[in-house]
Amino acid sequence: MLDIKWIREHEEQLQEVADRKRLPVSIRELLETDTRKRALQQEVEEGRRTRNAESERIGELMRKGDQAQAEEAREAVKALNRRLEQLEEPLREEAERLEQLMLLVPNPVSPDTPAGASDADNVEVRRMGAPPVWSFEPLDHIRLGELHRMIDIPRGVKTGGVRSYFLTGAGALLHRAVQQLAMDLLTADGFLPMEVPLMVRPETLAHTGFFPTGREQVYRIEDENRYLVGTSEAPLVAYYAGEIVDLNEPVKAAAASTCFRSEVGSAGRDVHGLYRVHQFSKVEQVVLCRADPELSERLLQHITANAERLLQLLELPYRVMAVCIGDMSQKTYKQYDIETWMPSRGTYGETHSSSNLHDFQARRANIRYRDSDGRLRYAHTLNNTMVATPRILIPLLENHQQEDGSIRIPVALRPYMGGIERLMPPGMV
């Protein structure tokens, strides 16, 4: 949520951003609603001041014994009260409409954000590593998972419905291993590890920018006013909601959590295997810092580098993409996606995302700090998907497969996998 004065001063710019982010909001309508609401509010406040003054005057007239003028003043106060009652409903309606529109206003984007309408227009910033070249016909992650008895999608669908799966044996161990490696890297970097609520109130998702625009992607708990999170970013940010935080140094927090996503609107897209599922796990980085654009930009580069470091340790080829405005969410000021090479897709697939939100979330969640002059200011917030699994298992299994059907375990993962160097198919010596 942005400051209304700033919105007035940047109406055309914000409308262009809203249009490019495909948000159903008219900035002109918002400003007109604000004008009407302010006029009604001013009339109500002036009426209340007049009523209070008249009430005091009635008391003085009564003390003086001037019953006639006191009665006349009482009638005036009654008329004023009727007018105030008439204003209550339109004022409430305008205030509610203004709040609804304000929740749809987009965060502006950074000057270096690429123009574009979709992920096809994202711009490559750098790439690391090269796709493997084999002298044999490689298997995709599903065939590898079946060969190693580590992925079972038919039983997942039987049990949980479409886009469900079981990870068994080495699959379950790899799933947890990459999460623990990610958490260990973040803990060493000074991030506070946290276990977070997975069921949250609607205001938690509104404060962090996931409502109202992303509501269709969130599972609601029937008969409860709570929702299942699609990322621990929401509870990590909400942890500081309504607080004045010490930001002499950036606050860094991380969580490994199960996540849920309905994937409404994605029918027919990326449905093969483990790429797009309803339940998954993520390790998330969240950072709060002072409202210094240069500082939050440095932190954006830092959290992106953390995710890159993980991919380097997993020995996977990847590229970093600057996300264009048309592929951004409402809340994002600047974003990088990291895409990892997935042989079965013959291309890179998104596995990580880093975002700088400036003070967009902090304004909604009322997260503030005191600057060097003691003034209260809204913080900047940032987030990054350090790793999401089982999606990361796609490149991990496919890129490290060997001709004999075995799968090489990257050196950094071996301590989390009992020291084994290769996964061998059952029955293979």
Catalytic residue among 353, 354, 355, 406: 353
Catalytic residue among 350, 354, 364, 406: 350
SS3 label, residue 233: helix
Catalytic residue among 20, 163, 363, 391: 391
| CA distances, 310 to each of 233, 252, 256, 357, 398 (Å) | 19, 18, 15, 23, 17
10 CB burial (10 A radius; 0-12, 13-18, 19+): middle
Q: Is 89 designated active site?
A: no
Q: Is 276 designated active site?
A: yes
Q: How far apart are CA 382 and CA 107, in angstroms?
A: 13
Catalytic residue among 97, 176, 226, 276: 276
Q: Is 127 designated active site?
A: no
Please work out, in degrees rounded to the nearest 5, the angle formed at the alpha carbon of residue 227 by the alpha carbons of 222 and 229: 145
Catalytic residue among 20, 163, 261, 363: 261
Q: How far apart are CA 74 and CA 68, in angstroms?
A: 10
Which residues fall within 8 angstroms of residue 156, CB to CB, at 6 or more apart? 164, 165, 166
At what angle are helices 67-102 and 27-64 packed, to 10 degrees?
160
SS3 content of the chain, % helix, strand, coil (to 5): 45, 20, 35
Q: Is 261 designated active site?
A: yes
Q: How far apart are CA 362 and CA 365, in angstroms?
A: 5
Q: Is 421 designated active site?
A: no
Would you name the residues annotated as active-site residues?
Answer: 261, 276, 350, 353, 391
